[in-house]
Structure 1
Amino acid sequence: MIIGPGVTIQGNVAIYGDDSLMPRDDPEHDDPAPAPPRSARPRRRGGFGLLRRLRFAALPLLPVALVMVLTPWGRGLLADGRARAESLFGAGPSPSASSPASEPAPPASASSAPATAPATVQLQPSSGKAGVAVQLTAHGFAAGEKIEARAGTKLLTTLTADAGGTAEASVTAARAGTKAGAVVVQLVGRTSRKSAKATYRVA
């Protein structure tokens, strides 16, 4: 600092040893001003950030979901997928133990089994003289139905099948005077329309 011509405070100190004229360092003013405190920013929670990322990631899938739900084509694909999943992993839960057990099917009656079997007829004996009675036995007809026994166009007799579809009778397959040869005896059920044939050979 210049006081006069050629005189400075530093010169006075050097010459007179008086440092009162020297300016004092003020630590309150010389220190640099402290930096203003930073405002504390609120810390984001990780959960909200994750939800936000998931929301943005799901946006491209929104049109696909709308197509699958609102269009018949999409609903058809969903139904096919559900059917395949049920076929792979099982269709629905198994019935609980508390549900009542299904009743067993009633046993088939004795008359139903013969009704499904083919009708047959036997002649005993199957050969002999004309005018001789033979034993006729029929099987496989409906229970209780009437059965007509004919030799050609002639009605020999009418039989009635029992509960098992069986009928027996004594008939004359070949009347007296019939020439040697084969006589066909045919039986026809009036209800089941089943038929059976047997041959009696005239000697």
Structure 2
Amino acid sequence: MATATKLEVFDAKGKKAGSVDLPEAIFGAETNVPLIHQVVTAQLAAARQGTHKTKTRGERSGSGVKPFKQKGTGRARQGSVRMPQHRGGGIVHGPVPRDYSQRTPKKMIAAALVGLLSDRARANRLHVVEGFGIADKPSTKTAREFLAQVAPGNRVLVVVDREDVLTVLSVQNLPNVHVLFHDQLNAYDVVVSDDLVFTKAAFDAFVDGRAAKEDSK
């Protein structure tokens, strides 16, 4: 399925309010599934704290004397109550603090995101709206009703610009709805979402930002 060169923009009432151009470099790229898997796996790995720790035999508290004499008891010889087979003893080959992050080149990260955005555009799962119709104060009800019209998917990712505080406050408590600023868009949040909803301001800022990065190379 070919990617449309234009995408309709809807207003707060769900009616057509214009259109935006879909740059071929961002929304017409090939979707490389193995690359996306590698980038998402690296992103999840980097999010791990890696602070897990168990105590070895030498770190456990307890006496260092033998629990009973070496010979004459008929039991297996034991050197310390801190040995792993004793209750409260050390752990053998347990986890230790480590860094789970994986080196992922920036070009791979960018290619994975572009591939996902192109896939959402081809599947008609990319939406651009003028706004949520929230003017004075946050309204979760208004945001919920609007998203039900625009984005039919079970999991929705809303992308806004950093000035749109009212929209953030309105959608952040909705179940199965995640909100990001346009400069936080990443492969993981896109791949776990069924529908992607941009505000017009966020879409323009994202496209302009990508174009600026390409020009600076």
Rg (Cα) greater in structure: 1
Is TM-score (shorter-chain normalized) higher than 0.5?
no
- TM-score, scaled relative to structure 2: 0.18
Give the TM-score of the pair, scaled to structure 1: 0.19
The structure with the greater share of residues assigned to strand is 1
- Relative contact order, CA 8 A, sep 6+: which one is greater? 2
Whichever structure has more helix as a proportion of its residues is 2
